[in-house]
Structure 1
Amino acid sequence: MISDLEARVSRKLMLRIIPFVMLLYFVSFLDRVNVGFAAITMNKAIGLSPTAFGFGGGLFFIGYFLFEVPSNLILNKVGARKWIARVMVSWGIVSAASAFVVGPNSFYALRFILGVAEAGFFPGIILYLSLWFPSRQRAVAAAWFMAAAPISTAIGSPLSGAIMKLPPIAGLADWQMLYIIEAVPAIILGFVVLKYMTDTPSKAHWLAPDEREWLIAKLKREADAKQSHAGHTAGALNALRDPRVLALALIYFGTSAGLYTLGLWAPLIIRQYGFGSFETGLLAGIPSILAVIAMILWAKHSDRTEERTWHVVIPCVVACLGFVFAGNASSALMIILALVIVNIGISAAKAPLWAMPSMFLSGAGAAAGIAMINSVGNLGGFVGPFAIGWLKNVTGGYSAGLYVVGATLAVSAAVTLLLSRQAKQSHVAIGERHGH
């Protein structure tokens, strides 16, 4: 049974931390994928081919990949509050500067710099949540945080579509206005982070003394139990070499390929059925709303049963089948239905997956390991959109690229099962019930 004290602490953590980090991720995701809407008129204005757009869209992840681990290690040293504020302000400035690209090369350069600026945000928040939430709440906390991505698509898609309909202001085209308007919240929120965020539970004056003591003791007990376990990894270098970290990165690769394929290409795929900018935005948003509901319910089930493996495998298989269905779609209704299936699968897999690393990583090991999983995994965000663009140039349609992205999710499901089998054999419970 959960004690009254534990219930009180849980409620305060959920209300104080989760809505705020969701807001940050909402803005981050909006700035990351609004390029899909800008493309509707930007590509022609600055002379981008489908291959060039797919390549530039994906370059974000190369910058992200290179700077992710160093960024998270700095966050671990200086604290989340200062570092997340720095990330928000710098990416807001770069995102606004994207309004002034003049051709493929400047587009490539700014996408790369945007990745560098934003590196460390997502794994930084995942690490931050592990410093506050006991393990039984971690998948749900992560699910609420990550729900901001599909919510951002659901609200941001119609919003972006509406901004694209604005008349030119001060000689700026619709796509330029989109970049500038959607960059402003990131810069403002950077300064809010400095005021609002608390680095560690010991500094949480918004918790009563008994609540603060209970939380610190609970997290310490979990950390001590983890460190006494044979499969535990604490050092940064050891974490980067840990085969489990690499396996989780490969699993995440498939889900990222799927997520960013949707973010960058869904508006253009839907638009080919003759919809206007705003209608495209509304239709791109529908699957995301359903994905949020599935994501939260699935994470709750994963936390309640303390099972992770099948909670990752099943959604990956569902998303894979959704991409195959999308590749065969011949009407607007079929493509929307396929996008619903894909969205639900990808979103549901993520929270149980992100509950896994903190089972065997701590300290600098957790900072480096989580960043490594995210940075290598997010290369899927480069491969997926680029494959779609390149194969569209070659074949003239979207089907081949959609099948390739579906295949990456099949690999994710297979690697999750292999990892679980390996864990059982070596008694390192990463994906199963962890009552040792």
Structure 2
Amino acid sequence: MGDTGEIDVARRAMNKAMLRILPFLLLAYIMAYIDRVNVSFAALQMNVDLGFSATVYGFGGGLFYIGYALFEIPSGAMASRFGPRQWLARIMITWGLLAVGMIFIRSAQQFYLMRFLLGAAEAGFFPGIVYYLSHWFPKAYRGRAVSRIYIAPALAGVVMGATAAPLLGLDGLGGWRGWQWVFLAQGLPAVLMGLAILRFLPDRPDEVDWLEPDEKAWIADVLARDAALIGHADRHDLLAVLANPTVWLLGCTGFLLNGAMNGFVLSAPAILAANGGLDTKTIGWLVSLGGFNGAIVILLAGWYSDRTGDRLRYAAAFGAIAGLGLLLIGLAPSPGAVVAGYLMQTAVSFAAGGLVIASWPDALPVRQLAMGSGAINTLWQLGSFGSPYAFGAVRDTTGSYHAGLLGSAGLALVYAGYVLFVRARIRRMQNR
């Protein structure tokens, strides 16, 4: 096949795959992220109703990530065994039911338990998506594919910001508080989406009738060539995955990034109210705007990183910008500066992580990708646990979010430098 013919086949195959597959996964991940962090809006009423201090809330918010981390590697192994489509559907149905179950919490202990179970149920979801995409999209298209999924957290911010205030405004309807309506209305759609994935999402390119034979052959051929460039893993069991230094290098990037960002994410509405003096409706629209900006940056970053092949350099730059945004919020002397810092942070923070995630299939042998992604994400989630708890504890001790914001800003700058180090190490290992 000539170059022109191959380019035409590639364009047709990738356009079809992106149109048929990515909308399902994008919508699913939006629901996942909403159910993970909608507690940040619910807390505006829930913490008062149930008498939760900032430390109690932060500890419970962080327990989600402990459950996620403990079950991440086993969940990755199950995705490899049963197939990513079936496992993604199982995850969605389970976590959707648990997300709805949050309406019944009445004590700190129940809050802790439900957040832990929600994390355990969602474990393996995003690594499962990355593993699934590795069966469809070659390296030259993977940044765009992952970025078009990873805009989900940003778009979830748009949805949450637009809907949280009206849902909180249902306070008293049916005898329920507004925070209970938040959990109900944002949890049920995940169950329905899990059933839709099970019914409509295909497993592999060779199983569908909407790809032509030459398109299927092109995908298989290019995926094989990409795998050959990374190298073959004779073993793909847990010990072999943990012995791969690339897993640890990539895992520590997320440990730092999530440690820098998650305390802020789970407390953002409260921070904007305290530091910026904003009301709930204004906060909602600001969160929506931040999510929209973040989605645009992620798409542009994914497209550009595919053209250059250098994802980690830009991930480092975005991490540094996010750190400067957090620094501005912590030091801001005026509400306008707080808003500017928030928009700065939300514009780039998801792209900082998304570009690293897009590099996982570039750096790991395909036989280690499912379990390796789970191992990497375990370290990411461990970083997520400590940050909300530390944020809450510092808030209760000092009476403000100032120290937490400055600490998060510093950690984001450390992340930026570390990603450049990882970039250099991976390049040396692949050029041996």
TM (norm. structure 1) is: 0.93
Aligned match of 2:244: 242
Distance 2:220 2:428 in 1: 33
Q: Name structure 1 gaps, 5 residues minimum.
A: 430-435
Distance 1:425 1:85 in 2: 38
> Is residue 10 of structure 1 aligned with residue 14 of structure 2?
yes
Q: Select 1:88's aligned residue among 92, 100, 123.
A: 92
CA contact (8 A) 2:167 2:178 kept: yes
Distance 2:414 2:93 in 1: 37
How many residues were matched structurally?
427
Provide Cα deviations, 1:34-76, integer angstroms capped at 9, x if missing partner: 1011101111111100000011001000000000010011011
Equivalence map 1:388-403=2 (5 Å): 388-403=391-406
Aligned match of 1:129: 133
> Is residue 318 of structure 1 aligned with residue 321 of structure 2?
yes
Distance 2:200 2:348 in 1: 34
Equivalence map 1:191-210=2 (5 Å): 191-210=195-214
Distance 2:229 2:387 in 1: 39
Distance 1:259 1:137 in 2: 28
Distance 2:305 2:33 in 1: 25
Equivalence map 1:36-435=2 (5 Å): 36-227=40-231, 234-272=236-274, 273-426=276-429, 428=430
Distance 2:145 2:23 in 1: 10
Higher helix share: 2
- The DSSP-based 3-state class of the residue aligned with 1:379 is helix
Larger CA deviation: 412-421 vs 115-124? 412-421
CA contact (8 A) 1:247 1:415 kept: no
Larger CA deviation: 158-167 vs 355-364? 355-364
Deviation, structure 1 residue 234 = 4.5
Distance 1:21 1:147 in 2: 11
Distance 1:377 1:33 in 2: 16
Deviation, structure 1 residue 195 = 0.9
CA contact (8 A) 1:25 1:148 kept: yes
Provide Cα deviations, 1:7-57, integer angstroms capped at 9, x if missing partner: 001111111111111100111111111101110111111110000001100
Deviation, structure 1 residue 5 = 0.8
Deviation, structure 1 residue 233 = 7.5
Distance 1:421 1:363, change over 3 A: closer
CA contact (8 A) 1:76 1:364 kept: no
Distance 1:279 1:373, change over 3 A: same
Deviation, structure 1 residue 112 = 0.2
CA contact (8 A) 2:38 2:183 kept: yes
Task: Give RMSD over aligned pairs.
Answer: 1.8
Instruction: Letter of the 2:35 partner, please give it.
Output: D
Distance 2:373 2:406 in 1: 29
Instruction: Letter of the 1:265 partner, please give it.
Output: S
Larger CA deviation: 396-405 vs 354-363? 354-363
Deviation, structure 1 residue 114 = 0.3
Distance 1:252 1:379, change over 3 A: same
Distance 2:266 2:342 in 1: 13
Distance 1:8 1:39 in 2: 47
Deviation, structure 1 residue 275 = 3.1
Provide Cα deviations, 1:243-285, integer angstroms capped at 9, x if missing partner: 2211211111232234433431111111224433222211122
Instruction: Letter of the 1:269 partner, please give it.
Output: I
Larger CA deviation: 116-125 vs 339-348? 339-348
TM (norm. structure 2) is: 0.94
CA contact (8 A) 2:66 2:119 kept: yes
Provide Cα deviations, 1:136-188, integer angstroms capped at 9, x if missing partner: 11111111101011111012222011100014233111111111111110011
Distance 2:328 2:278 in 1: 21
CA contact (8 A) 1:232 1:360 kept: no
CA contact (8 A) 2:313 2:423 kept: no
Deviation, structure 1 residue 403 = 1.5
Distance 1:287 1:261 in 2: 17
- The DSSP-based 3-state class of the residue aligned with 1:397 is coil
CA contact (8 A) 1:236 1:366 kept: no
Distance 1:264 1:283 in 2: 15
